[in-house]
Amino acid sequence: MAEWGWRIPFALGVLLLPVGLALRAGLDEPGDRGGDRAPDVETARSPGSVALACALALLIAGTVSQYFLNYVTTYALTALGLGARVSLLGTVVVGVAGAGASFAAGRLSDTRGRLALIAWPRLALGLAVVPMLLALRSHPSDTAFALVVAIVAILQLGSFSASVVLLAELFPRAMRATGFGTLYAIAISLFGGTAQIVFTALIHTTGDPASPAWYLAAVNLLAAASCLGLRGRVS
């Protein structure tokens, strides 16, 4: 594994490229086919500074929360002292719970609207993550760890799935890729790239394994509040 086996996942990942290109080539932009035009998307106006700041807050919360889910294996091993088996199980729980939440959120956002589906899970995660990690710190166990990870994954990926669509709809077609891509790059580079460093620094500085919860709570509550600034622009 150390000499050459680590390259296998990367080689398998390359195989996704032609699949992605094939899927993209078969997608239609709304409005490209006469009768299938989407007036609400086509006539969207350029977002103002308030809407852009609110959109960035949503992406920051989604990015930091997702990077925490990516960090759960290391977190369980180093901060909670759980075994390697249950630590690695956290990744499986994230995948299963997140996939189900993403599918359900996609269906609901298409039928019930996006903004409430984004705001309420962010608010719930912002309020619940501190007591959940405090309880996990006090009573670390395989079951408690899996349950906390599942709840965070459901709230995070349920909200983030709808956020991606909402933020794309925020921009008119003429600037959608540029606008969304710029916001996404800012959130990922400044907050995604530093998330695990911040988590580790908080634990090291405070000596408290639950300390990353405060960072997660702050960004998620900010995101929930930012939805107020998007009312009237999106469904």
pLDDT tens digit sequence for 123-146: 999 999 999 999 988 888 888 999
Lowest mean pLDDT among 37-41, 89-93, 215-219: 37-41
Place of tokens 């709809």: 169
Coil, strand or helix at 234: strand
Counting DSSP H helices and E strands in the chain, the numbers are 11, 0
| Mean pLDDT calculated for residue range 151-155 | 94
Phi and psi of 234, rounded to 5°?
Answer: -135, 165
pLDDT at 31 over 70: no
Exposed, middle or buried by CB within 10 Å (0-12, 13-18, 19+), for 225? Answer: middle
What value, to the nearest 5°, has the Cα angle with vertex 193 and ends 188 and 194? 120
pTM of the model: 0.79
DSSP structure class, residue 139: S
- How far apart, in Å, are the Cα atoms of 215 and each of 196, 212, 229? 11, 5, 22
Q: Are 231 and 73 contacting, i.e. CB atoms less than 8 angstroms apart? A: no
pLDDT: which is higher, 67 or 176: 67
pLDDT at 46 over 60: yes
Residue pLDDT, tens place only, 56-68: 999 999 999 999 9
Confidence of residue 44 (pLDDT cuts 50, 70, 90): low
